[in-house]
Chain A
Amino acid sequence: MPVVDVDPDELRYLTGHDEKDDDELKSDLFDLGLEFEGWTEDDEFQLEFAPDRLDRLSVEGVARSLRYHYGDDRGVEVPNTNSADWTIEVEDQPDERPYVTGAIVRGLDLDEAALESLIQLQEKLHATMGRKRAKGAIGVHDLTMLKGDSVTDETGKSITYTSADPDEATFVPLDADAEMTPSEVIDSHETGQTYGDLVADFDRVPAIYDAIGLFSFPPVINGRRTEVSVDSRDLFIEMTGTDQWTIDHMCNIVCYALAARGGQVEKVDVSYADDAPGEYAGKTLERPDFTVRTKTVTHDRIESILGVSLDSREVIDYAERAGLDATETESDDGVAYEVEIPPYRVDVIHPLDIIDDIGRALGFNSLEPTYPDVSTVGGRHDRSRLEDAARDALVGLGFEDLLNFHMINEAENFERMGLSPDNTGGDAVGLADPVTIQEPYSEDYTILRTWALPSIMMVLENNTHRSYPQDLAEIGLAAGLDDSENTGVAEHRTVAAALARTDASYEDAKARLQALADAFDKDLETPPTTHPSFIDGRAAEVVLDGESVGVIGEIHPKVLVEHDLELPVAAFEFRLDALE
C-alpha cells in the first residue's frame, strides 16, 4: 500500500487548523483511512493508505481531504485556468510511447518543504499510476529556462515532443556535469541505469526539445538546464506515457497540488501532428483537462447498499462532504442523483464508488449490523469429507498428521528420493512430470510436489533430535503435468504415511495399510514391484479393488542416509480417491 510522508506543520498550515495537535491530526487521518505508521527522520508522519485515493499522495491532497472531512470545504472545486500560451508540438514521437500532456503553473513561491512535497508527489505517482514510469512519467521544468521555438509567426511559444537517435542527441542530464547521449545516460548515469530498460529496445528514444535543444529524455531523466529550485516561480509540467487518460489525470493531481500552493494554472495546447502515432493524430488537446465528470446513482441503490433510509437532503450533504456535488434528478428507477466528480479523482469509475464515498461520509461504523434473513443449507464437499475420514483413520492407527507445503524443489522431490527427474513420466509413484514455477525466488520452492513422501522424509530429517517412534502421515495435494486436463495440470490428493522406528518393517506398514483398506471396505493386494525409493524385494504396488493406486515398502538405505536417518523407515503412498 502507498506510504506518503507528510509534515504535520504543513498539514496545519494547508488546512488552516493551527490548533490541531499531532494526535488529533493522526486520529482525523485515521478516520479518512490514512494510518500513521511512524515518524520519518525529519519528524514527518509516515501515512499508509489503500491505493485508490492517489490524489492523497502529497500533503496538499491530504490537506484537501481533511478540509472536506472538517466541513471547511464542500462540493467540487476546480481551479481557474488561464488560456494557453504554450504548445507542445508532437511529431515523430516513438510509437511505443505516443502520448504527452502538460500544464504551466505560474506565480509559485516554493520553499524547501513545498519543493520536497512536489518531488515526493512525482515519485509516488510514478510508482502507482505511472507503473514505475512505464505508463506515465512526469517532468517538471523551470519555465524561464525554456526558449519557445517560433517556427511561424502565428504560433506562440512551443516545445516539441519527438524522438531522438540515442547515440547522437546530447544534453546535460540532472546530476551530471557533462553532455551525454541518451545511450550514455542509460549505460552510466545512475537514474539511467534504473529506468533505462523502459526505452532500451527503442530504435529512437523519447525526447523533448525547445529552441535551444534537447532538455528532457522521458521517462528517464530531465536535463539540468531546466532544473527546478526554490527560486523557480513558473513551472512547465510535461508527462509522457502509453495512455493519454492516465497521464492527463496524473497531471490533474499535480496541478491541484500546485494550485493549493498558490500557483495559477495555465493551459497548454498539445498538438499532435497529422501523421503522429497514437489515437490523437491531427488533434489538438487543451490540457490540463479539468472537465468535471458526472455519474448517475439511484436513491434506491444507495439505500440498499448502505442498508439505511436516507432523505435526498442527507444524500446531497454526504456527497458534498466527500468533495462531490449531487443534484437530485429522476431516472427510470425513481429518484436519482447526478453526481459531479472532480478531475483529480481517478478512483471513481462506477456509481458504486460514489455510494462508497457517501458511506464513508456517513460513517460505516455507525451502522448497526444485521444478520441477513436468508436461509441456506450448508455442507462439506465430498472430497473434503473423504479426506477427513481417511485422516481420522490414520490418526486412529497412531499416525501423527502432518501438513507440508505443496511446493518443493526437484532435488527433494526426485534425486534425494533416489528418483531421476530425467525418467519422469513413468509409471512409478512420484515420477510425474512436475508443474514448474517461473523464475522462482527461492531455490527451495521450484515445482509442485508430485508425491508427498519426500515431504515426510524432510520432516523426519529435520526431527532426528525428537523422540522415536515417529509415525507420520499426510493427506495433501500432489500434482503433475497432464495435457488432457484443461489447465494442463492433474491435481490429486495423496495419502502418504511413514513409520520411522528402530524395528520398522514392511509388515508394519502393510498392517496399517490393510487396516485402512478394511476401514473403507476396499480389497487390498500388494503384488511385488520395484521402485527406486524402496529396497528391492521389499516393495509392492498398492492395488485397491483391482486398481493400482500407489506403492508400499521399506525405504532404501541410500534414501535414509541421504536424509541423515539412522533407523529404518517403512512407508506407503496412494491416491485418496481410491478410497471413494
Chain B
Amino acid sequence: MKRPQAQVAVLQAADAQEDRRIDDVAADADLKPEAATRAAFELEADGLVSVAEETLEHYELTEEGDRYVRESLPEQDLYEAAIDAGAADGPVQMGQAIGASGLDGGAVDIALSNYARKAYGEIDSGEITANPDADTGSDPEMLALEAVADGRVEDADADALDQLERRGLLDVREETVRSVRLTDDGVTALMEGVEAAETVDQLTPELLTSGEWEDVAFTEYNVEADAEDVSHGKEHILRQTANRVKDTLVGMGFSEMEGPHADAQFWINDCLFMPQDHPARTHWDQFALEQPDEIHDLPDDLVERVRSAHKEGVGPDGEGYHSPWTEDIARGMDLRGHTTSLSMRYLSGHQVGELDPPERYFSVEKVYRNDTLDPTHLLEFFQIEGWVMAEDLSVRDLMGTFTEFYEQFGITDLEFKPHYNPYTEPSFELFGTHPETGEVVEVGNSGIFRDEVLTPLGVDCDVMAWGLSLERLLMLMYGFEDIRDVHGTLCDLELLRETEVMR
C-alpha cells in the first residue's frame, strides 16, 4: 500500500496501545504539527487511526494570587485585626480595624468586599463585627490558592477555583489537545507494509518547466475541509441602496443636485415659506450652528421677495403669515434639516443658472435633525429628494411619477393621503404596500410647491416635489430593525459583512 510520506510517518509513529499526542507524533515523524494533524485526519478518514480531542485547563496564579499565597488574604488580615480590636464582642469602628490590619489602598476594598461574603463578620454603618466561629485558618480560597501553587489543582475545591478566577487571582487557560491511536486496520496496514508514495504537495514552476509533473502523484487534499475566512472589500449597504436610487432616478430623467450641508436658514426654511415662529423651526429641531453663526451674503432681491411672501403673501388674494420676519433669523446658519434647501438654491437660479421647464432634479444626501437617537431615528440620515418642473403639472402627474418610482423598489398600491406642509399645496403623505410583509407603510411626503415658494424664486410654472428617508427605504427592503447597526460608528462590521449583496 502506498500512502503519502506524511501519512506513512504518522502511521509509523502512532501506537495501537495508547493515545499519543499529535505534537509527540509530529516530533517522531519529523513533521510540522500542522502537517501531522492534516495527515492524521486523512488517515482517520480512511479508518487507519482514530483522533481524539480533549480540552485541558491550565491553572496559573496571577501576580496578586502569588502574593496572597505567600502572605495572606486581605480579608484574613482584616479579620485578625478585627478580633484584636474586640469585634468578636460587639461592633467596633471600622477605621480602627482597618488601621490595625495594615491594609491600604485597593486592598481595603478587596478585604471589605470579601469579609462579609465569607461571613467573617458584618459591616454596617462604618462599624465592623467579627464572627468568633469563623475559621479563617481553613479558608477554602486560601486552600485552593495553595493547592494551585503546589501543583495540586486536583485537591482544590471547584467553587473556590471559580471564585479565585473571578477575583483575578487565578488565570485559567484552555487548550485543545489532539491525540492519535492506531486502529486495527492501521495495525494490519502496517503489518502488510506501507510505502511512501512519490507524491508532491505543491505544483511548482520547476515541476512544470522540467516536465516532471508527468511522473508524480499529487497529494489528495481534503477538499471538503473548511477554508480560512477572508474579508473582502464591500460597498456599504446604504451606499448600494443610495446608488440604486440614483440609478433609478437618472433613468427617469432626473439630474443630481449638490450643495452645502451647513447653510443659511434662509435657504433651508424661509424660501420654503416656513414662518419664522413656526413650531417646525424650533421643534422639528434643526441644528443651529454656533460657529459660523451667520451667512455672509444672501441675494438682496430674493430676500425682499421672500420677506414679502411671508408678510404680505403672493398674488391679489394671498395673505401671508401673521408672524414676525427678520433677515437676521434668515441669515442664521443651520445644518440643513432637509435637502429641499438644495431645491431652493437650484430653483432660484443661484446654483446652476436660470432653469427653464421642463426640468427634473434629485439628490440623495445627508440631512440633520435634532431628534432622539433610537432604532428608527438618526440625527443624520439620507433624504431622497426629487422635483419636477413643468407647465401645468397636476396632482395626477405627481401620483404617476411617484407610483413609477416606488414600483422600482417593489413598493406598490401607492396611496396618497392628503397632508399639510407649509411649502406645498396640495400635499400628500405617501403610503405603499411592503414587498415582503404586505403591510401598508408610510413611504414619503410630497406635494406641489406653493406660489409663495415659487413666485419669489422667479419660477412661473409648476414644480412638484417629494422626499423620503433612504434609511426607511433600506429598512423596508432589508428588514433591519435597528438602523444604528448600519449607519454610524456604532455599526457592526459583522452585520455589514454578512448582509447580502443587493441585486
Contact = CB atoms under 8 A, between A and B. Distances in A.
A307 B239 contact: no
Interface string A421-436: 0000000000001111
A33 B421 CA distance: 13
B291 A436 contact: yes
A249 B251 CA distance: 49
B258 A306 contact: no
A351 interface: yes
Interface in A388-428: 388, 391-392, 394-407
B426 A378 contact: no
A304 B418 contact: no
B489 A437 contact: no
A477 B261 contact: yes
A349 B243 CA distance: 40
A395 B233 contact: yes
Given A305-B448, A350-B450, A378-B249, A367 B290 contact: no
A384 B256 contact: yes
Nearest to B316: A296
Nearest to B267: A487
B394 interface: yes
A106 B396 CA distance: 49
A152 interface: no
A305 B492 CA distance: 48
Contacts of A403: 236, 238-239, 486-488, 491
Contacts of B373: 442
B239 A33 contact: no
A549 to B, nearest CB: 20
Interface string B340-379: 0000000000000000011110000010101001000011
Interface string A295-329: 11100000011111000000000000000000000
B428 interface: yes
B41 to A, nearest CB: 24
A352 B394 CA distance: 12
Interface string A42-54: 0000000011110
A467 B379 contact: no
Contacts of B290: 436-439
Given A369-B396, A372-B388, A381-B257, A479 B231 contact: no
Q: Max chain A CB contacts within 10 Å: which of B254, B261, B494?
A: B261
A351 B395 contact: no
Q: Most chain-A Cβ atoms within 10 A of its Cβ — which of B246, B358, B396?
A: B396
Contacts of A367: 395-396, 399
Contacts of B235: 391-392, 395, 401
Contacts of A380: 246, 250, 256
B263 interface: yes
A83 to B, nearest CB: 27
A491 interface: yes
- Residue picked from B256, B315, B415, most chain A C-beta under 10 Å: B256
A409 B268 CA distance: 24
Interface in B302-343: 313-323, 333, 335
A371 B394 CA distance: 10
B417 A33 contact: yes
Contact of A52 (B254, B417, B420, B452): B420
Given A245-B322, A364-B428, A359 B333 contact: no
A394 B428 CA distance: 41
B322 A352 contact: no
A527 to B, nearest CB: 29
Interface in B271-296: 277, 279, 287-296
B400 interface: yes
Chain A residues touching B, majority SS: loop
Interface in A349-392: 349-353, 355-356, 359-360, 364-365, 367-372, 374-381, 383-384, 388, 391-392
Nearest to A388: B243
Contacts of A81: none
A135 B277 contact: yes
Contact of B313 (A349, A359, A441, A459): A349
Contact of B396 (A368, A379, A481): A368
B496 interface: yes
A436 B290 CA distance: 5
Contacts of A433: 291
A425 to B, nearest CB: 13
A340 to B, nearest CB: 12
Most interface-central of A128, A374, A391, A448 (chain B CB within 10 A): A374
B99 interface: no
Given A243-B323, A304-B394, A356-B425, A369 B279 contact: no
Interface string B13-38: 00000000000000000000000000
A435 B289 contact: yes
A470 B251 CA distance: 36
Given A350-B314, A355-B426, A370 B396 contact: yes
Interface string A132-148: 00010000000000000
Contacts of B150: none
Contacts of A504: none
Of A368, A375, A441, chain B has the most CB atoms within 10 Å of the CB of A441
B288 A397 contact: no
Contacts of B295: 486-488
Contacts of A391: 235, 239
A271 interface: no
Nearest to B391: A374
Contact of A375 (B253, B393, B401): B253
B225 interface: no
A471 interface: yes
B234 A400 contact: yes
A440 B246 CA distance: 32
Contacts of A467: 229, 231
B489 A462 contact: yes
Contact of B493 (A308, A397, A400): A400
A358 B490 CA distance: 49
Which 3 A-B residue pairings sit nearest by Cβ, starting from the closest? Answer: A307-B394, A488-B292, A50-B420
9 contacts: A33-B418, A356-B418, A372-B400, A384-B256, A407-B335, A435-B262, A440-B287, A488-B262, A491-B262
Given A352-B450, A378-B249, A488-B295, 4 more contacts: A306-B395, A365-B416, A378-B360, A481-B291
Interface of A: 33, 50-53, 128, 131, 135, 243, 245-246, 295-297, 304-308, 347, 349-353, 355-356, 359-360, 364-365, 367-372, 374-381, 383-384, 388, 391-392, 394-407, 433-442, 445, 448, 455, 458-459, 462-463, 466-467, 469-472, 477, 479, 481, 483, 486-489, 491
